[in-house]
Amino acid sequence: MSSASGTTPSDQAAPSWHHTVSKYQRADLRRSLWQLANTFPPFFALWYGMYLSLDVSYWLTLALAIPAAGFLIRVFIIFHDCGHGSFFGSQRANDVLGVLTGIITLTPYYQWRHDHAVHHATAGDLDRRGIGDVWTATVKEYLQFPLWKRCAYRVFRNPLVMFGAAPFFLYLYRFRFAHRKGAPRERHSVYAANVAIVAIGLAMHFTIGLKAFALVHFPIWIIASSAGVWLFYVQHQFPEVVWDRGDAWEYEAVALHGSSFYKLPKVLQWFTGNIGFHHIHHLRPRIPNYFLERCQEETPAFQAIAPLTLLSSLKSLPLRLYNEEDRQLVGFRHLRTLRKK
């Protein structure tokens, strides 16, 4: 694979892919409305079906939680597109829908939009880590950590913590507080989301009861949030990822080679809103999710991007540190090799 400072498909065929990509950067209202129609009604229908199933069998409730979680992931993808201003042609429409879907996904829209924009502007830049990304230390940094920090880092990078406990921390705690230095609109979006979530909780309390609400919604949320964290993780943490520093960092090269092409089975691709075409999304975030696959298929320069599959993506699990000397992500076992040297 070419490095971010070397020759890439974008360098070889920039005129062709620029032209192909540009025609997909406009929202299609009919496709957007159809995506709303095939996402929200099934989600709420499944939610209500789960509530009714509580009187039948909780195993049935849990079984229905799996497809419901898939639809909740689609809701987040729509929220995500609104944050990029790509779901509708109107920015106002994007913002309104973004705020509403943010309440459903427990995510304050304007604050998340700001942090995610920073993520896009700095992804793969080792000098600008820490906002909107999965914190990853370099081998050199880790070896310089005091003992307590090494232990904390190992706990944080444990899959049970990252994909189990982290969603609780992120959505139930982290997103409930505004950034101190955030713009007023960003801070207010956090306060408004919190008020709306409390209002929904009170409505559930006085209608179906908080116990029934928790029995229905908690399984959906934990499946969807854990899967969502995994998707975000594997989009930038995979064996062939390219990261750079300083002048060597190039936006388009790192977008193509620092973001994965996660080729999922069609049903999972549908539920995840084509977010597996993450290399294209980072290259041009104004492309709506429903155009990403066609953009991939119609752009010869993208065919050189090797895809990750469900099986091959599991190789990302033991990766914990970035080794700048070899320009690759490595696991903690790599440290044993260094000690032997």
Secondary structure (3-state) at 107: coil
User: Is the CA virtual torsion 269, 215, 36, 175 positive or negative?
Assistant: negative
Within 10 angstroms of residue 160's Cβ, the number of other Cβ atoms is 9
List of residues 6+ apart from 27 with CB closer than 8 A: 86, 87, 88, 89, 288
Write b or e for each residue in 177-209: b if 16 or more Cβ atoms lie within 10 A of its Cβ, otherwise e. ebeeebeeebbebbebbbebbeeeeeebeeeee
Residue 56 Rama label (left phi>0; alpha psi -120 to 50; beta):
alpha
Closest C-alpha to 154, from 316, 336, 318, 312: 318
Specify the pLDDT at position 1. Answer: 39
Q: Give DSSP secondary structure letters for 312-335.
A: HHGGGTT--EEETTTTEEE-THHH
Secondary structure (3-state) at 138: strand
The whole model's pTM is what?
0.91
Please give the chain's pLDDT, 341 residues, in tens. 333 334 444 444 454 677 778 889 999 999 999 999 999 999 999 999 999 999 999 999 999 999 999 999 999 999 999 999 999 999 999 999 999 999 999 999 999 999 999 999 999 899 998 888 888 999 999 999 999 999 999 999 999 999 999 999 999 999 999 998 889 999 999 999 999 999 999 999 999 999 999 999 999 999 999 999 999 999 999 988 889 988 888 888 888 888 999 999 999 999 999 999 999 999 999 999 999 999 999 888 888 888 999 999 999 999 999 998 888 899 998 887 766 55
Specify the pLDDT at position 252. Answer: 86
Write b or e for each residue in 269-308: b if 16 or more Cβ atoms lie within 10 A of its Cβ, otherwise e. bebbbbbbbbbbbbbbbebbbbbbeebbeebebbeebeeb
Residue 242 Rama label (left phi>0; alpha psi -120 to 50; beta):
beta
Distance, CA of 284 to CA of 282 (rounded, Å): 5
